[in-house]
Structure 1
Amino acid sequence: MRWFLAFLGFALFWAGAVRAEEADPGYDALLALHEDLRDYMLPGFTAGVVMDSGARVGEVYADDLMARKLAGLAAFETRLAALPVKTWSRAGQVDYLAVKSILNGYRFNLEVLRPWKRDPGFYLDPLMGVAFSEVTGSEADIAKLRARLAMVAPMLASGRQNLTEVAGDFADLAIHNLENSDGVNHYHPYRAVPPAGIIGWYDDLLARSRASRPDLVADVEAARAAVIAFRDWLRAERPRMTAPGGVGAERYDWYIRHVRMIPLTAAEMLTLAEREHERMTAALALLRHRNRDLPQLTLSRSAAEQAEKIRVTDAAVRRFLTEEEIVTIPDYVGELGTNTPYIERPGGPNFWEQIQFRDPIPDHLHAVIPGHRFDAVLAARDTRPIRGSYSDGGRAEGWATYLEEAMMLAGGTRHTPRADEFMQLFGIFRAARVPVDIGMQHNRMTVAEAVAAMRARTPWLDEDVARVDAEIYLRRPPGYGVAYTIGKLQMDALLADRAAQLGEAFRLREFHDAFLAAGRLPIALTRYEMTGYGEEVALFWTTPPIPPAG
């Protein structure tokens, strides 16, 4: 009965939000604008959509088309500004601000980021997925692979024409990724010896084609030759590729506030992150003292041993979440797998594996349940036009990072006390990312300097994991590296707000269910909807022009 009442509350929160939105005058116009905007923009700003759609690559990212797309955003901004949003319910206002953040993000992509001109990796990212393809599938699968292979040469030729403002760090990362395994290999097919970068994976595809599908060999060889020619072009042009990789300080703050809708400046986030790093480093020392007489946890020595650890961990986590009334797990949530497959590396486990192969619970909470994978299953059932299609990185990583220490404090690691030390190690790494994310985007720090800085402040952190992270935070839209720690702190603040509001009536499961039911929106918007506190969203209603390059 308690589970049923909790689930009913979860459903009523969601349904109530929908009814409130539908009652707002003019809300239909917001829905229409949202749909028109999605149709208007190029999906995701990735070259991969070009490869999958079979579009004419040279035309899709031509400067004149992108200039027309940028100019056309003004009409959407005018439509949005005309809506009577001040009279709407909180739920409707939150949806309005979510659409506003999407529109602001498109403008920033077209006006500032312009990855098709600045980042060779924009054209390389989809190539790995092609090389991972199986060559033993159906004839329909082989036909699709052949079509994608045929797109490689024209897409890279288009890249050579478009890439006129390449950042030096972007060029170096592209060359490295073409020739070297990233050393992490997340979501790559397993190989005992990982292929040497993108070119190595095309060698792997070529060898498999020769063995199983000789009729594909010529297609693979042509694609591989185009990839090598692109690498050679990058090497030759590298001395002239000297543009900055980051967006600059003022533009960074604009993006954080008006796209990510985080109510903080870079300076404020730095202060908060430094305090978190200090706090968690001190907590790690205290936990090591507390646990000093306990045996150290040992690394798994086989895939079977690791699989058993994951099975035991998953059962323990689900039991804890249910029995301790932490969050509702609907019946449709089945097995969710694991985020860290067992891999034997010549140099030993990387940072994540050093922890996960000892005790899977830190990343199981973060990335499996009730973190990312659980979150994604709930989101997949969200049919609301705006919230069901919105996924904010700060919300996703903030929720998942919050779960690490929160579940520890709520008792989820009582059965494995040494894992508490690993929770702090995760948090230390998250906090160490904030100054390097900001430093790279402010153009005060190179990727190599970011790698060194994170490794200096994070026990066990290896160069490969640090480099992969640094690449993500420089090449993704700004602020992804701060999302973990800052989002976690926003979650802490929201929990404090709601507990203070409700007093003795506060229930943790109801809080978590309501938060998840709100959708994957920026946390500040969910805070406004759940609490009514409007001082943070007051910063988002007016959007100034993007600052000039500085």
Structure 2
Amino acid sequence: MKSASVSVLVLLSFLFLLIGCSPDVLRQDSAEYVDLLNLFEEFRDFSEVDHQQPGFATAMENKFSELREVQSRLASFDIGSWPVSEQIDYHLVRAEMNGLEFQLRVLRPWVRDPAFYIDGRGGLGRLPELPIEEDRLSEFQSRLRTVPSHYEQAKANLGGGNLSEIPGDLAILAIRRLEENDDSFAEFVGQLSEHHPGLVADAQGAQAAIDGYLAWLQENRSQMTAPAGVGIENYNWLMKNVYLFPYTWEQIRTIVELEDNRVITFQKLEENRSRNLPPLTPVASSEEYRRSVLNSLENVMRFIQGQEIFTVQDHIVVDGYRQGRLRATSRPWPDKHDYFFNFSHRESLMEETHEMVGHHFDLLRAREDDRPIRGSREHEGPYDMAVARLEGLAFAFEELLMHAGYLDERPQRARSVTYEQAAFRTVRALSDVYMHSQDWSLTSAMEFAVSNAPHGELLDDSPHLWNEMQTTLLHVGWHAQMVVGKVHFMKLFRDRAQQLGEDFN
């Protein structure tokens, strides 16, 4: 079977995003391609999973064997003579099937991750408003009564009954989530007596099951000794077969370490350059922050259009994002802010560029794409398949637009903030690389982040750091792809410039 190389496919994926190819131009309707569309639709239906079904673990093992049959059918296609656009669609379907395989064969959260059973409060889901409507009482009571069996099943599933097969670092994250959980359910149980006293006993039983699960994790944590990282072999398989990423773990490590060297060097040079200038004054209220954000949105759009950085199609508009930011910046000003606000409260332009130009505009493009395979994909893609493009490009915009001039009229110290943000992302990427090679534990990675991230003292034992580490372990390669995706975009930029010569603009 002949196919386009993985590296070419990745480059094409970036290229389609940037030049805004018309979906209709790329669509093909050959008989074999229609067969691919039918198989893709069948696979999408097949891959839907009910996490709350009884015997979930057994169902997942059965699904893996069924997946092999679907993958075999896909492999029987001979795509050698297909147009490139159809070959790309074929490889996207293949990658998505491989994404499900990685979930079923490697990650297996129902066996490895104690937090898998915390989501949705053991099947309760979102708590209803009180009083509960009469026609929903019976259904909610049934859900309450299943919670104890849910957590008993969790104990049996985890590690396949062998505590030493449960990753200790994932247990630590689950314990913290349960310990830090707000008292909303306890408050809910207390309020039930006023509205639905007949549900109180079942609700108390559910609460006891949740508390018992936490106690079980705490008591057995020392016996949970399996590594949380997936290992280099599995990491490489994921990069090649799911993310269609043309780099191995070793190459990713080298790229991330070189980027870390570069951004910290540039950060320190900028700090020296600005050493005699007054520091940036952080905003101190919701109103100040709102003005900063709106100014940044106006600034970046004016710059992109005025400097003709890329084509802004008619559907690429600021309105929806702007309204969302107005709502977000109208909330009461908290006493303590998330770590990343340390950057955006001093200069919001880079973060707003990342979120609006990098992510929101990408979402708007996706909504305009009605192609059967690419157009039916979620904004970020299933199994994190789009991360290298989605996050790499958004991250690249922060610094590359600075070099293009969008900070020229801002305070000079804003350039340092750009590199501070980049340095934090290389810290996360290094944690990704070394936790999944199983060289670093969760504790080691957190200590590294506090010691090496800009203003790392703000990270120490913070909710932000815990969340970042959980994301790193559960979304394998996410943070590394953000950094390497940025580097790969610059490679595409360079290759396209070389290809077009003086016609490049």
TM-score, normalization: structure 1?
A: 0.77
1:365 aligns with 2:369: no
Of 40, 46, 56, the match for 1:40:
46
Q: Post-superposition shift, 1:138?
A: 8.7
Native 8 Å contact 2:99 2:242 kept in 1: yes
Change (3 A) 1:321 1:225: farther
Change (3 A) 1:140 1:410: farther
1:223-262 equivalence runs, <5 A? 223-262=206-245
Tell me what 2:399 maps to: 405
Native 8 Å contact 2:24 2:371 kept in 1: no
Higher alpha-carbon deviation: 323-332 or 223-232: 323-332
Return the letter of the residue paired with 1:172.
I
Of 57, 64, 70, the match for 1:70:
64
Native 8 Å contact 1:156 1:230 kept in 2: yes
Return the letter of the residue paired with 2:35.
A
1:84 aligns with 2:68: no
Tell me what 2:472 maps to: 473
- Rounded Cα–Cα distance in structure 2 between residues aligned with 1:372 and 1:211: 46
The Cα offsets for residues 400-458 of structure 1, whole Å up to 9 and x where unpaired, read as 11111122122222232332211111111111222221211122211110011122221
Q: Post-superposition shift, 1:155?
A: 3.1
Of 486, 493, 502, the match for 1:504:
502
Return the letter of the residue paired with 1:95.
D
- Rounded Cα–Cα distance in structure 2 between residues aligned with 1:77 and 1:50: 23
1:445-524 equivalence runs, <5 A? 445-461=440-456, 462-463=459-460, 464=462, 465-476=464-475, 478-507=476-505
1:151-166 equivalence runs, <5 A? 152-164=147-159, 165-166=165-166
- Rounded Cα–Cα distance in structure 2 between residues aligned with 1:26 and 1:161: 45
* Alignment length (residue pairs): 464
Percentage of pairs with the same residue: 30
Higher alpha-carbon deviation: 67-76 or 265-274: 67-76
- Rounded Cα–Cα distance in structure 1 between residues aligned with 2:417 and 2:122: 32
Change (3 A) 1:427 1:12: closer
The Cα offsets for residues 316-366 of structure 1, whole Å up to 9 and x where unpaired, read as 2222222222341534742212497667565x4342011112222221111
Tell me what 1:188 maps to: none
Instruction: Specify every segment of 5 or more residues in structure 1 that has no aligned partner in the other structure, as ranges.
Output: 1-8, 44-48, 52-56, 181-196, 508-550
The Cα offsets for residues 300-328 of structure 1, whole Å up to 9 and x where unpaired, read as 22222212221222222222222222341
1:176 aligns with 2:176: yes
Q: Post-superposition shift, 1:292?
A: 3.2
Of 392, 409, 413, the match for 1:418:
413
* Partner SS state of residue 369, structure 2: coil
Higher alpha-carbon deviation: 168-177 or 358-367: 358-367
Return the letter of the residue paired with 1:34.
F
Q: Post-superposition shift, 1:93?
A: 1.1
- Rounded Cα–Cα distance in structure 1 between residues aligned with 2:123 and 2:266: 41
- Rounded Cα–Cα distance in structure 1 between residues aligned with 2:291 and 2:143: 39
- Rounded Cα–Cα distance in structure 1 between residues aligned with 2:140 and 2:255: 48
Higher alpha-carbon deviation: 111-120 or 149-158: 149-158
- Rounded Cα–Cα distance in structure 2 between residues aligned with 1:213 and 1:359: 51
Native 8 Å contact 1:266 1:438 kept in 2: yes
Higher alpha-carbon deviation: 138-147 or 458-467: 138-147
1:57-206 equivalence runs, <5 A? 57-59=53-55, 61-63=56-58, 65-127=59-121, 135=129, 139=133, 152-164=147-159, 165-180=165-180, 197=181, 200-203=183-186, 205-206=188-189
* Partner SS state of residue 22, structure 2: helix
Tell me what 2:12 maps to: none
Native 8 Å contact 1:179 1:200 kept in 2: no
- Rounded Cα–Cα distance in structure 2 between residues aligned with 1:332 and 1:210: 52
Native 8 Å contact 1:135 1:142 kept in 2: no
Change (3 A) 1:150 1:497: farther
Of 21, 29, 34, the match for 1:22:
29
Native 8 Å contact 1:131 1:205 kept in 2: no
- Rounded Cα–Cα distance in structure 2 between residues aligned with 1:104 and 1:249: 17
Native 8 Å contact 1:167 1:241 kept in 2: yes
Return the letter of the residue paired with 2:484.
I
Tell me what 2:309 maps to: 326
- Rounded Cα–Cα distance in structure 2 between residues aligned with 1:419 and 1:148: 52
Return the letter of the residue paired with 2:363.
A
Tell me what 2:288 maps to: 305
Q: Post-superposition shift, 1:200?
A: 3.2
Higher alpha-carbon deviation: 123-132 or 98-107: 123-132
Tell me what 2:341 maps to: 353
- Rounded Cα–Cα distance in structure 1 between residues aligned with 2:367 and 2:132: 29
Native 8 Å contact 1:340 1:353 kept in 2: no
Instruction: Specify every segment of 5 or more residues in structure 2 that has no aligned partner in the other structure, as ranges.
Output: 1-17, 160-164
The Cα offsets for residues 198-253 of structure 1, whole Å up to 9 and x where unpaired, read as x5342354567679988876665444332212111212232332222122221211
Change (3 A) 1:302 1:11: closer
Tell me what 2:361 maps to: 374
Change (3 A) 1:12 1:273: closer
Native 8 Å contact 1:132 1:201 kept in 2: no
- Rounded Cα–Cα distance in structure 2 between residues aligned with 1:326 and 1:148: 54
Return the letter of the residue paired with 2:242.
V
- Rounded Cα–Cα distance in structure 1 between residues aligned with 2:38 and 2:487: 35
Return the letter of the residue paired with 2:418.
M
- Rounded Cα–Cα distance in structure 2 between residues aligned with 1:129 and 1:497: 50
Q: Post-superposition shift, 1:126?
A: 3.1
Native 8 Å contact 2:122 2:147 kept in 1: no
Change (3 A) 1:412 1:137: farther
- Rounded Cα–Cα distance in structure 1 between residues aligned with 2:73 and 2:104: 19
- Rounded Cα–Cα distance in structure 2 between residues aligned with 1:163 and 1:28: 41
Q: Post-superposition shift, 1:159?
A: 1.6
Aligned-residue CA RMSD (Å): 3.0
Change (3 A) 1:154 1:309: farther
Change (3 A) 1:134 1:66: closer
Tell me what 1:531 maps to: none
Q: Post-superposition shift, 1:491?
A: 1.0
Change (3 A) 1:127 1:396: farther
Change (3 A) 1:16 1:296: same
- Rounded Cα–Cα distance in structure 1 between residues aligned with 2:146 and 2:349: 42
- Rounded Cα–Cα distance in structure 1 between residues aligned with 2:294 and 2:145: 43
Return the letter of the residue paired with 1:330.
D
Native 8 Å contact 2:316 2:361 kept in 1: no
Change (3 A) 1:11 1:373: closer
